[in-house]
Amino acid sequence: MSITVQETTGIRRIGVLGELTDPVCHRDLLNALAQRDERKVEITFYDARTLPGDVLETLLDLSASSVPLKIVTYHNYLLYHLMRMGLPALGELAGGTLPVVSEVTAVVLGGSADSLDKILAIIEVLPASKAVVFIVQHILENEPSRLDNLLQVRTDYRVELPQHLTAVVPGTIYIAPPGHHMKVAHGMVYLTRDKKINYARPSIEVLFTSVAREYRQSSLGVLLCGYGNDGVAGLKSIKDQGGLVLVENSDDCGARNLTDAGIASGAFDHVLSLPELRCFVASAVAGRSQNFSQPLIDLLLEAVFSRYGYDYRNYQPGTVQRRLNKLLNQKGWPDFFTLQREILTDPDAFEQMFLELSINVTAFFRHPEQFRVLREKVLPYLDSFSSIKIWSAGCANGEEAYSLAILLDELGMLDKTQIFATDINPYQLEEAKNGLYPLEHFDEGQRNYRVSGGQRCLEDWLTVGKGYLKMGPRLPKHLVFYQHSLEHDGSFNEFQLIVCRNVLIYFHPELQQRVMELFYSSLHRDGFLVLGPSEGIVAGEGERFFIPYAKHEKIYRRNG
Q: What is the pTM of this model?
A: 0.82
Measured distance CA(438)–CA(467) in Å, rounded = 7
Beta strand 555-558 with 546-550: parallel, antiparallel or unpaired?
A: antiparallel
- Does residue 87 sit in the same domain as residue 148? no
Inter-residue contact 480 to 373 (CB < 8 Å):
no
**Same structural domain for residues 377 and 491?**
yes
| 273 vs 258: CA distance, rounded Å | 15
Give a yes or no: residue 181 inside a domain. Answer: yes
Domain final residue pick, 357, 380, 405: 357
- Write the pLDDT tens digit of every residue in 189-212: 999 999 888 788 899 999 999 999
Domain at 69, CATH number: 3.30.750
In a domain, residue 101? The reply is: no
Output the pLDDT for position 217: 95
Q: Which of 283, 312, 339 lies at the terminal end of a domain, its last residue? A: 283
Domain that holds residue 332: 290-357
Predicted confidence at residue 94, as pLDDT, reads 55
Residues 467 and 395 in one domain: yes
> Which parts of the chain have pLDDT scores under 50?
none
What is the tally of structural domains in the chain? 4
One domain, residues 405 and 487: yes
In a shared domain, residues 266 and 295:
no
Instruction: Note the Cα 35 to chain centre separation in Å.
Output: 40
CA distances from 45 to 25, 49, 77, 207, 450 (A): 13, 9, 12, 49, 40
Could you tell me if 395 and 272 lie in one domain? no
Of 315, 140, 111, nearest in space to 229 by CA: 111
Q: Among 52, 68, 91, where does a domain finish?
A: 91
Tell me: do 276 and 338 sit in the same domain.
no
Residue 97 falls within a domain, yes or no?
A: no
468 located within any domain? yes
Q: Examine the domain organization and report whether 316 and 227 are in the same domain.
A: no
Between CA 487 and CA 481 the distance in angstroms is: 18
- Using CA atoms, how far apart are residues 486 and 428, in angstroms rounded to an integer? 16
Is 248 among the domain residues?
A: yes
Residues 377 and 516 in one domain: yes
Does one domain contain both 205 and 127? yes
* Nearest one of 89, 90, 91, 77 to 397, comparing CA atoms: 77
pLDDT of res. 54: 94
Q: Locate all alpha helices (DSSP H) within 86-134, ordered by sequence.
A: 116-123
Secondary structure of residue 408 in the 3-state scheme:
helix
- Do 245 and 317 reside in the same domain of the chain? no
